[in-house]
Amino acid sequence: MTARILLFGATGYTGDLTARSLVRQGARPVLVARSAERVQALATELGGLETVVADVSRPASVIDAVQPGDVLISTVGPFLRFGEPAVRAAVEKGAHYFDSTGEGPFIREVFERWGPVAASHGVGLLSAFGFDYVPGNLAAALALAQAGPEATAVDVGYFPVGFKTSGGTNASIAGMMLEDGFALREGRVQVERAGRRRRTFDVAGKSLTGVSLPGSEHFGLAAIHPTLREVGVFLGVPPAAARVMATSTALSTPIRKSAAVRALGGKAAARFVKGSTGGPDAASRARSTHTMVAEARSSTGQVLATVTMTGPDPYDFTADILAWGAIRAAGSGMLASGGLGPVEAFGLDGLTQGCASVGLKRV
């Protein structure tokens, strides 16, 4: 029996793309949003889908929308401000959960706070199930599988080309500026500021620079590779920008330690960086691609395996992989429960096939 799929935030930029992908892939999701007029218009356009009105400002409305056994996709961001009602609703009602966040602190909250509760209810939580951070989980898992138990460390580099950010992405970035990052070091997730580490990757014969940031790989990969002690996730940026980011995050360390200052910064970000401003159109997305590089190493630093993958525009990939994952979860469930990485949820072969079906392939 196929479970209901609910898409929360259906009328936002990523939500709209995800709704269309779900329908293309054969699903009939329930569209959930705060504007009755806008969500009904989208539902009519997509063939008369069911709709529900819910708003994070009324958390009970989100809980009421979810039923036991559902699959809930949340695209409502910035997640640090608006994400909790959806994950809480999924856990309390016993529904599988996916989201499109790229915000490290929220990802950690899902794994560490909500994951154990979800496990006790037998449901899976898949945070950051999009361009942030499915491709890196897959590339790294393939490299670790090739390297074998000698691998104790893995670094992942994300290198988008021609990528234009949406208003929601910009708002998420602004909201994270004063938040602590993290990384897997010495076998445990530890606080580490974003931008602290820089390294280069060989991408199609070119040496490209990446700066460190928190991702779901720090949680998801450790669960599937017992000998893993270190995970690094890096975003490709020009070398000058990498130096600026490293310096700015170092200088902001005292500010991040003050809860009051962080709260003021969050209010300023919400005021001046609006999330609901749309994103790149189809023509722009068609010109955008991304390349992933994962490098598995031994405890002595020897490179044991390298995997390179390429894929489509990050927003298109996010919508398509969210739809794929939700449909799979609705039909046959997941392989585990609790806070999950993509490989732990669907298996390496299953995730490889799913990603290939939406354009992410090994080269």
- HSE at residue 16, side-chain half, CA atoms within 13 A, is 18
Q: How many domains does the chain have?
A: 2
Residue 158 and residue 210 share a domain: yes
Q: Does the pLDDT at position 250 exceed 80?
A: no
CA-based R_g, the chain, Å: 19
Residue 264 and residue 145 share a domain: yes
Confidence (pLDDT) at 178: 63
CA distance 38 to 294: 41
Band of residue 325 on the pLDDT scale cut at 50, 70, 90:
very high
CA distance 55 to 61: 6
> Which two three-digit tokens encode residue 245?
């980011």
Q: Which residue has the higher pLDDT, 105 or 195?
A: 105
Q: Which residue has the higher pLDDT, 29 or 262?
A: 29
Residue 156 and residue 109 share a domain: no
CA distance 323 to 20: 9
Is residue 208 domain-resident? yes
The predicted-structure confidence for 144-163, as pLDDT tens digits, reads as follows: 999 999 999 999 999 999 88
> Which two three-digit tokens encode residue 338?
């609790």
Instruction: Name the least confident of 70-74, 113-117, 209-213, 227-231.
Output: 209-213
Nearest to 168 by CA among 248, 270, 257: 270
The residue range of the domain holding 329 is 5-130+315-342
Confidence (pLDDT) at 168: 73
Q: Does the pLDDT at position 273 exceed 60?
A: no
Q: Does the pLDDT at position 167 exceed 80?
A: no
Residue 149 and residue 164 share a domain: yes
Confidence (pLDDT) at 174: 58
CA distance 235 to 281: 23
> Which two three-digit tokens encode residue 205?
């014969």
Is residue 144 domain-resident? yes
Confidence (pLDDT) at 255: 52
Band of residue 237 on the pLDDT scale cut at 50, 70, 90:
confident
Q: Which residue shows structure tokens 């490989």?
A: 343
Exposure letters 151-179 (e unless 16+ CB within 10 A, then b): bbbbbbbbbbeebbebbbbbbbebbbbbb
Q: Which residue has the higher pLDDT, 87 or 245?
A: 87
Band of residue 276 on the pLDDT scale cut at 50, 70, 90:
low
Give the other-Cβ count within 10 Å of 217's Cβ.
Answer: 30
Band of residue 278 on the pLDDT scale cut at 50, 70, 90:
confident
Residue 298 and residue 163 share a domain: yes
The predicted-structure confidence for 215-227, as pLDDT tens digits, reads as follows: 999 999 999 999 9
The predicted-structure confidence for 26-71, as pLDDT tens digits, reads as follows: 999 999 999 999 999 999 999 999 999 999 999 999 999 999 999 9
| Domain C-terminal end among 297, 314, 331 | 314
Mean pLDDT of all residues in the chain? 90
Q: Cβ contacts of residue 107 below 8 Å, gap of 6+? A: 101, 127, 128, 214, 215, 216, 219
Amino acid at 201: F
CATH number at residue 60: 3.40.50.720
- Please give the backbone phi and psi of residue 64, each rounded to the nearest 5 degrees, phi first: -65, -25
- Please give the backbone phi and psi of residue 282, each rounded to the nearest 5 degrees, phi first: -60, -40
Is residue 353 domain-resident? no
Residue 144 and residue 69 share a domain: no
Residue 337 and residue 232 share a domain: no
CA distance 197 to 297: 17
CA distance 210 to 207: 10
- Please give the backbone phi and psi of residue 155, each rounded to the nearest 5 degrees, phi first: -120, 140
Is residue 354 domain-resident? no
Confidence (pLDDT) at 186: 94
Q: Does the pLDDT at position 258 exceed 60?
A: no
Q: Does the pLDDT at position 268 exceed 80?
A: no
Q: Cβ contacts of residue 25 below 8 Å, gap of 6+? A: 320, 323, 324, 327
CA distance 209 to 221: 23
pLDDT (mean) for 293-308: 97
CA distance 163 to 224: 31
Confidence (pLDDT) at 51: 98
Amino acid at 68: P
CA distance 181 to 235: 14
Q: Does the pLDDT at position 246 exceed 70?
A: no
CA distance 38 to 33: 8
| Domain C-terminal end among 273, 297, 314 | 314
Residue 214 and residue 79 share a domain: no
Is residue 363 domain-resident? no
Is residue 96 domain-resident? yes
Residue 203 and residue 265 share a domain: yes
Q: Cβ contacts of residue 229 below 8 Å, gap of 6+? A: 152, 153, 184, 185, 186, 187, 299
Residue 123 and residue 172 share a domain: no
Q: Does the pLDDT at position 170 exceed 80?
A: no
CATH number at residue 269: 3.30.360
Residue 188 and residue 108 share a domain: no
Q: Does the pLDDT at position 265 exceed 80?
A: no
Is residue 183 domain-resident? yes
Band of residue 272 on the pLDDT scale cut at 50, 70, 90:
very low
Residue 192 and residue 321 share a domain: no
Is residue 350 domain-resident? no
pTM over 0.85: yes
Nearest to 308 by CA among 132, 101, 155, 194: 155
